[in-house]
Structure 1
Amino acid sequence: MVHTTVVGNYPRIGDTPDEQSLRRAIARFDKGEISAEDLQEAERDVVKAVLREQNDAGVELVTDGQISWYDSQSHIARRLASVEIDGLARYFDTNTYYRQPVVRGAVAWKEPILVDEWKFAQTNSKAAVKAVLTGPLTLGSLALDKHYRGKKALTLDLANALGEEVSALVRAGAAHIQVDEPILTRHPEDLPVAVEGLERIRARKGAAALTLFTYFGEVSNIFEQLVDTPADVIGLDLVQG
């Protein structure tokens, strides 16, 4: 049986005036006209609209659209110990940018990062909500490392931290966890490190289903190895890949 899902994020801001409510709220927040609580309410209104669209379309496994994420790197990294957020860097070969994490010391999990967002989404969805995390190899590869001076050590500490987050999500009730590793389309030679990181995350997932997703290119040269990774589901990009 084939089930339907979405990869993860939705556009935060659309083309119509109604779809630009979040842009207006962000502008007002930047001017000091509304509070952080008001901005969160505006974000959550968009999350509810995103969930409603997926529910109405019959999607069986939905996401919150990652509406509250400024980008795929800083949203998680900024809540980890020893990580600061710096200026903008280009995200792969897209026309979007991310706030680059800077690692100043040993990375560690401090507190739940996505749990409240997942709980809100699940409360407002008829279908199961999938929690989506940027993978440790991608986080480590796109960060500015001022401490480890080695990708593997940083990736594995990030994997330990993400494992703690996955454990918190599972305790909250999440039954589906997705880990995104788009960096594998650019550096397939790093797959062994990605696998070692994924094994550490898998050890904390309990009975939840674990999905590994790649995108922004093809992974045909490592497809057989991907199938053997410790993930229950593999997601592939069939547009750019």
Structure 2
Amino acid sequence: MTDLVATTPGLFPLPDWAKSELSDRKGHQKGDLISGDEGPELQDAYDRARTEVVDVQTDAGLDRVVEGQLRWDDMLAHPLAVHDNVETRGIVRYYDNNNFYREPVVQDDLTFDGDVAAELDAAAERVDDGLQAVLPGPYSLADLATDEHYGDETEFLHAVADFLAGEADAFPDVETLFLLEPSLVESAPDEGLDSEVPEAVTTVADAVDADVVVHPYWGALDEKVYAHLLDADVNAVGFDFVSDHDANLYNLQEYGATDDIALGLLDGQNTLVEEPEAINERVDWVFDNLPVAEFDTTYVTTNTETFYLPYSKFEAKVEAAADAVALAETEVQA
């Protein structure tokens, strides 16, 4: 019997009060400069907001609790956007939606920064058990950036992977690391580069003593990309069953899976809140359609980040994921 784990991919919306307060302070808006050295008033606002979203997850009963990534105005590009050797330029559309980020242009070596580790350290003070880290996967971070230093796409991919590994090595103790890789779906690597992705992902995964989940979304991976990704030394690969259940199911049926699996079954962009019973029916549907469904751990999560949602709907999605897993466990015990 698989161990069901309720979690999220992180990147939460700001609480309503924080949106207003941060907007009032130095004209802060989505896409403004967040450099890691905000003044004490901004830092205090982010600290209070972090405390709130951590408590929301804990109170709901999520098995894994994330820091929330509330400072990530540039979404997955954030770890580069705050780096001293990266210049942020014009506003770029964040994949195919109405969110935007500042283009990070790498101009020198990607040395250690520590920004994400500092956020996790703060979250760890409030999480007794089940802390989960979130990072962009190396391919997605390289895809979102522009390289004006390394000069070769393969070298740049591995430089980004080494950078992320250095950041991850500084994390406090975490139980799980989610590597978010939507670019593997939205902007699939060309032939040659696709075979480099498993090594890059493994570089980051090896930096933590934790279970590692690679979570692509906004569709399904091309067959060749998926087959390559299975060569990475990770515990689980995620599947966005909201955006494309047929193609994701085909990949699982045709190529198999890792020992663990992450199922994106709640819509991270839609305000309609799923019922726990419906979520569990979707878990059963996936397993019923696989020739072999013997996973050590199954992560039940939203398919995408939830920063697209109103804050109250984000809270409801978190509660729905936790309630679904709790309900499934109760039914098993009965």
TM over 0.5: yes
Judge conservation of contact 2:197–2:229 (CA < 8 Å) in 1. Answer: no
TM-score (norm 1): 0.86
2:181 maps to amino acid: E
- Counterpart among 19, 22, 28 of residue 24 in structure 2: 28
Runs of 4+ in 1 over 4 A off after TM superposition: none
Higher RCO (Cα < 8 Å, 6 or more apart): 2
Q: Percent identity?
A: 26
Q: Deviations over 1:171-196 (max 9, x none)?
A: x2223222111110020544322212
Give the aligned partner of residue 136 of structure 2: 134
The C-alpha deviation readout for 1:185-214, integer Å capped at 9, x for no partner, is 020544322212112223322x22222111
Q: Distance in 2 between matches of 1:52 and 1:150?
A: 44
**CA RMSD in angstroms, aligned pairs only:** 2.1
Deviates more, 1:53-62 or 1:214-223: 214-223
Q: How far 1:164 sits from its partner (Å)?
A: 0.7
Distance in 2, Cα, partners of 1:159 & 1:225: 17
C-alpha separation between the residues in 1 aligned to 2:55 and 2:136? Answer: 24
Q: Which runs of 5+ in 2 are unaligned?
A: 29-37, 245-334
Measured against aligned partners, the alpha-carbon deviations of 1:84-110 in whole angstroms (never above 9, x if no partner) come to 1112100110110011101123x3223
Task: For 1:179 and 1:44, locate their aligned partners in 2 and report how far apart those are by CA, in whole Å.
Answer: 24
CA 1:231–1:173: 2 relative to 1, 3 Å: same
- Indicate yes or no: 2:127 matched with 1:125: yes
Deviation at 1:231, TM superposition (A): 1.0
**Superimposed CA distance per residue, residues 110-162 of structure 1 (whole angstroms, 9 cap, x where no aligned partner):** 33121121121121234422111112211111212222333211110111111
TM-score, structure 2 normalization: 0.63
Cα distance in structure 2, aligned partners of 1:97 and 1:31: 17
Q: Secondary structure at the match of 1:149?
A: coil
Q: Within the alignment, does 1:108 sit opposite 2:110 as a pair?
A: yes
Equivalent residues of 2:136, 2:179 under 8 A apart: yes
Match of 1:192 in 2: 195
**Structure 1 residues not aligned, in runs of 5+:** 13-18
Closer, same or farther in 2 for the Cα pair 1:144/1:220, shift >3 Å?
closer
Corresponding residue for 1:85? 88
Distance in 2 between the 1:31 and 1:69 partners? Answer: 16
* Distance in 2 between residues matched to 1:225 and 1:153, nearest whole Å: 18
Within 2, Cα distance between the matches of 1:78 and 1:95?
Answer: 19
Contact 2:88 2:105 in 1 (8 A): yes
Q: Give the stretch that moved more between structures: 40-49 or 215-224.
A: 215-224
Q: Partners in 1 of 2:71 and 2:46 — Cα distance?
A: 6
SS of the residue corresponding to residue 108 of structure 1 reads coil
Aligned residue-pair number: 229
Partner of 2:155: helix, strand, or coil? helix
Cα deviation for residue 29 of structure 1 reads 1.9
Q: Deviations over 1:45-86 (max 9, x none)?
A: 222221122112211011122112112244200343531111
- Which structure would you say has the larger Rg? 2
